[in-house]
Structure 1
Amino acid sequence: MRAGGIAPVHADRFRRPAMSRFALASLAVALAWIVPRQALCAPHTVLHSFSASYMSGRSPQGRLVLADDGNLYGCTISDAQQGAGTIFHLSPSGAFSTRFVFPFDTGTGTYPFGRSPVGSLVRGGPGDPDLYGVTALGGPLGDYGVAFRYDYTAGTVTVLHAFGGYNPGNPVASDGEGPRGGLIRGSDGAFYGVTLSGGVHNGGTVYRVTAGGGYTLLHPINHATEGYYPESRLIEGADGSLYGTTALNGLGYGVLFRISKDGSGYAVVHQFTGSGVGSTGDSPTGDLARDSSGNLYGACYRGGAGNVGTLYRYSPGTGEVTVLHHFNGLSGGYPLGGLARGADGRLYGTSQSGGIYGFGTAYRITTGGAMAVVRSFAATDVYGAIGLMETSAGTWYGLCWYAGVTDPIPGYGGHGRLYRLKVTSASTTYAPLHDFFVQNAHYPYSGLVLSPNDGRYYGTTQSGGAFGNGTVYRIDPAGKLTILVHLLANTTGGMPSAGLTLGSDGSFYGVTGLGGLHGRGTLFRMTPSGSVTVLHHFHFAEGSGVEARLTQGKDGAFYGVALAGGAANQGTVFRCTNAGSLTVLHHFVGPDGAKPLGALWQDAAGILYGTTELGGDFDQGTVYKLSATGAGFTTLHHFGLDGSRPTAGVVPGPGGLLYGTTFFGGLVNYGIVYRISPAGAFGVVHQFAAGESANPYAPVTVGADGMLYGVTTSHGTFAAGAVYRIDPSTGAYAPLHDFEGMGAGTTGGDALGELVIAPDGALVGTTYFGGDADGGTVFRVDAGIPTARDVTGDVTLSRTVTNLGGGSYRWVVTVTPKTGKAILLPISLPVIGLAPTGAVVANKTGDVPGGYGGSAGAPYVASFAGPSGPWVLRSTGRKITVEISGASDAPTASLRVWQGRF
């Protein structure tokens, strides 16, 4: 392991001890096992680089805005690095990305572009695709905020005006402090906004700024007579005037004001009257909305009959304010974010509390005051909602201050969420789209499992996620990664070292090394969509520190090992039903083995085989077997002169033998690959030697070609381990890829998990560190392993054959999976009797991505794969149709379908 890194749970196994007397004595024995090293180089691709960074800022502000590029943009007031805030976007497909982080200049000690962006961004208008906004703090003149322009194409921010704050020595020169609410674009093309304080009276200001950076102070608000603390965005009325609100005034309840765009004619048009029957409200906040008749609509955060807020209408023609709704708890309470006019002519907004569950509401109200709650937010979805914006009729996007996956106690914390509501006359559908301030998954300790049901890989990371306790993730063959579960130690368990097991029911089963009710880890079930059920919380007496992947037995139960705990604190073998009932099958005591590691393997008779890292006659580990009931425990081999510290279990391979690895031992203490019969006859296949990589922690993977494939953790060209192949018949070692080690931009190192053979014959695995951000990688090595198997019985074939004349035919073949069958691409169509010399093969139609199709080059085989790797024909109704033209074959030839690579 690298210095300063986050060590695996049992980092001691990576400390290279002084060579034991058994390893020294084995030097003479090992000489007989020196074999040639074959030089190979297989193409290597990093599919994903893990990172310990945070995926986004926290505490989103304002509403989203739909930019000219079709993406939604918004701001957060804080970020992970400097707490200065971010600009983010959400693509139409739902992909979230942080686009700009407001930086700190160590040279000047300032935030030159501002910090803590507040309110909503606004579009620049015709011919100007840029977005405009404000920050509450920061800037080159102090901590007073800025107005800025954001170029999303270049990813740059330009300061249009830096505020100077309140100057008590020269109040007249005070231009404002603490912009709020964001900007609006006026009909004249200029932008208008307000500051919370500053100005000659220190009650806030109204100002104008142009896209070129011209600034004009329009009006300093007199807190004694005109209100103070304007917090909300302005709106332009039908009369061309600007309207806005202040949260307070002399009476303490706030005002609605009007001002001309040239700064003249500031007037309070309504003073809010607080709480109680007949009152108009208290603390007007959030955006105002305007209808086609020029009426303005807004919300008060408090006040009204129930003192939890009001919705009101202001009619400029008469100067009258009419309360449309007094919030009452059930309809919501403490509305924040203001109102937005929908395509249906109704007004939409959100409240911070109330509703059925007490966590706020999304509502709509007609201009006549007919109120309807469209969603009562639950503790698990939204808390602290701050307004909505509509992208198309009935589709609304919103932000909330709190909640999200970072909230371990729903409704009482978290750092915010971006969500979508689809509202119809009959129902509302809620969908969370992004949770803020979530740490990326990193440090994958285990290997992956490939699901034949969707063609994706599933795995775990020891660290990262919302709570820093690790994650469960899914990655597709093209490298798109999705975090499915953010593990929380005291509920789901945390820091998983083991990979997942795909159960016969289609769910995934896994274990965590710590946490749970007793702090000893958990055993859980996860659906493919990421819904987790904890089936068992480990007690010390049952085992502690479960680090090996589970094995599903022939009886449907799951079998595994615990590294410690049990009667002698040397570990256990256990059985757990899918209902969570756990039975200890064996307690290790030392002479029979200690600290079992590696997944178990079960033979056709139901016998389980495994390894212990330590214990046995020489305390260097053992290979053992026992029945599924725990009876008949037998130690098959005690390691000593021939290897040390087997960490990977055993797997079946050529000749009916079992194959495994040891981390140490062998010729120069670099570890070995061994084979052992079910009766215990032992032999060394390969001893890792100087000039090779060393110290395999993971098991070997047996290819259809009979070769053994695996990974090592050290030595090799860059001293970071390698992907290797070993011929079990000769022991010949061949490196397929040498890992480049730790550090950003490397291919990684310290590969600890088993390799998976992809349907196209590539090897897919993980490294614990390295990659672009040094948090580990998922990689692919194109090893060219033959994987083809006949799946003709799983599909329905239909074909048409056209005689083109001159002995040439055109075949059009459709392959459709039968009900309940899933076929992973690549697939091949051997045509018996077809001599396709000069034949043209093309992907004609079908449910496959673009780029598929083409001849594999082998006689009689038309192979269909793609640049992104395997793809799945999942069920009946999905098909691929191919055309073979120029084939010199009559219609009597037969077809078969093969999955995989020849």
Structure 2
Amino acid sequence: MRYANGQQTAHLVPLKLEGTLTPIMQTQVNREPTKRASGVSLNRRLYSIPFPSIYHLALFSLVTFLLSPATRATTFEEIFGFARDAANPTDSLIQGTNGDFYGTTIAGGTGGLGTIFKLTSTGQLITLVSFTGANGSYPRGTLAMDDAGNLFGTTYAGGNSNRGTIFELTTTGILITLYHFGNGPAANPYGGLVRGTNGNFYGTTETYGSLFQISPAGTFTNLTSFFGLRGFSLNGSLLPSSDGNFYGMAGVKAFSQTGGMCFRLYPDGSLDSLFQFSGTNGYRLYSDRPYGGLSLGANGKLYGTSTSGGMSNLGTIYSLTKDGAFTQISDFTGTNWHPQGAFPFSAPALGSDGRMYGSTVAGGQFNQGTIYTVDTNDFVAFLFSFSGTNGSQPYGRLLPASDGKLYGTTRSGGAYNSGTVFSLTTNGLLDTLASFPAPASVQTVPYLIPGSDGQVYGTTLNLTNRTGTLFHIGPDGSLSTIASFPSTAGTIHGPLARANDGNFYGTTSDGGSNNVGTIFKLSTSGSISQLFSFSVTNGANPFSGLIQGADGNFYGTTSTGGDSNDGTVFKSTPDGILTTLAFFSGTNGANPYAGLLQGSDCAFYGTTSSGGDSTNGTIFKITADGILTTLASFSGTNGANPYASLIQDRDGNLYGTTTAGGIPGSGSYASGYGTIFELTTNNDLITLFAFSGTNGNTPFAPLFLTADGSLYGTTAWGGPDGAGTVFKLTNSGDLVTLHSFSFTDGGNPYGGLVQGSDGYLYGTTTASGGGKPAIFRIYEFPVLHLNFLGNQIQLAWPSSATNFQLESSFDLSSSTNWIAVPTMPFTNGLQVIVPEPVSTMKFYRMRKP
């Protein structure tokens, strides 16, 4: 049993709340005929309010109503988000009439799904929009601008079907989704948009190989899906021409043996094939697999590039007349000699001097890419070689600007290796205008610990240089860094233990003298000292953190190392003297990633992620002197691969989660979506719940048990948006999804929940699948109960709902009429109870400041 049954109570009817009211559920309220006079049914709405103060309001009179138990309203709040800046631009820029430049990135932003940015004429880099997934993700291709300065473009993915969107960004900064691509006959736009002479926009899709038209108002027309039927893939933008037609090129799909083609598109959707590439495999002396669209030269010819072909199979430059006459101008060799460079991914652009300017993503002096020029006689010359620090991999087409310079972006390189914006003079002088920051440099370690000081503590990991920090966050959401970890300390994966001496103790999964992990101490003054370095024979790669036992020593597990390299259980004194208590051998379990729990019997309990009877993991018990007992083995159907620590109820039963097993799925979830389990004191392993994917999957985190017997936890994946969930499992076995992540509010909560002194449950998101790492808190509004006892009533609410003030009023006409109920509350373990004398008419509310 997770809790003992209390006396039956009647729920008070929530009637009214101050502020803007949002109905969250409709319920039926009936008089109870066995205890009250019969009467008619009444309808009431349960309301929540969208501002910080939380109220539950109840009306009591001589007639008391019984409200059937209802789902509690839940408040979710992201209280701190670790920013992800725009990063990795891959396409060309456009210039506005004000001189500012506009472009897109395929990474970074608030949700990590790409951005639209502006580079001002003064060199300031500004993120205008962060894509959320719902409005698109991973924008690809060049933006287009109308006469009013509104921007139009495409995203490769996201939207209603995750197949991409067409959007408009107004001059006032409002992003409008004009069109959501579906499952056909067009999907995944790649080349961006171009504006036709009729004011409509035209673009291409990679999937199905379609050409489309869309009006500024969002009227979408699919012009043709011919290319997909022929094995082609449209991965470049269209070129509008003064003759009213469009010119473009089609690449190839991986399964196709065709080499691509150049075509002309007429406004009515019909098209001509101007030139067919060979597509023969192997090293070719001619162009193969064109990429990036076409450009118009001063001589009226069309210019393009191929990513392969040529003498070294590193790509070529070619020209094409509008009648289809093809000329291969030059090969790329990748050497330090003419023409230099390798793998061009965009067509050259026409400069103000009549020459064509283009780029390659590799080759050149430093093999970081080049910029080249083609004169009017089709002579190719090397102009600039990127070095990495000033940029690397220029994928997008260059933009000849009004000042005579060429402007462009690099996908990587720069100060943070996340790309740059640059300008280049026609004589080869480059100026790096801006470097994009690293998009995901900071990630939360997925475990928090509550402090006795009212703060919640956690750690971060810098993915770039492997440094980290220890922080605490207060109820007001303010985050303060307490200490910084150097890169030499190793990688912290598990939670820190705050010991009875006030210092923090923990483990690193690597680092130390053998680079297989350490035990360290972080003092209250912020100094870090290494206490022990693992050596494989005594354990390696601890992922679980430490717990302090009742004897003052620290206990933990290593995921590998030991006699069979299947992991160990160890004990360490506060000074770092280590004793290996047990070695796993496979049959008794293997690879414990979870930390230990000290039970009410003073023994330690834990899980192994594999090994046991069916190699799906085990639950074990170990005494302080090293006697190891396997209590249960997972079979797959009752769960598999537990990674979370266990918790224990007051009767001694154990609870936990498995990352797999249970209900079989498909693909990577064929073995199941994970389970919640109980191990009774008789060692009976019971599956309490099996996830199905839509309600979450892959729970990595330990559970949190409240006084009413409910289990709270997280799933790292699954839910409606596939980004993970926060859930509650009631004592009756019903799973309630309290929150589903969508990457815009974090995503992928690998860690569990802890309760702060304010009563909220706190957690972290790692955003490993996208989005930003964040710290969140969640709270369920408590249900206020009523007992009628003669001339007295008892108002009660769950004792897990802390820091609430019970207030009463005889008049709802003013918000100033509320006063605190002076009666002292008492508890029965599960409930906070306030006795009150009966009044003719009185209102009650619970307020959380």
**Please, what TM-score do these two structures have when normalized by structure 1?**
0.41
**Please, what TM-score do these two structures have when normalized by structure 2?**
0.43
Query: Which fold has the larger relative contact order, with Cα–Cα distance below 8 Å and residues 6 or more apart in sequence?
Result: 2
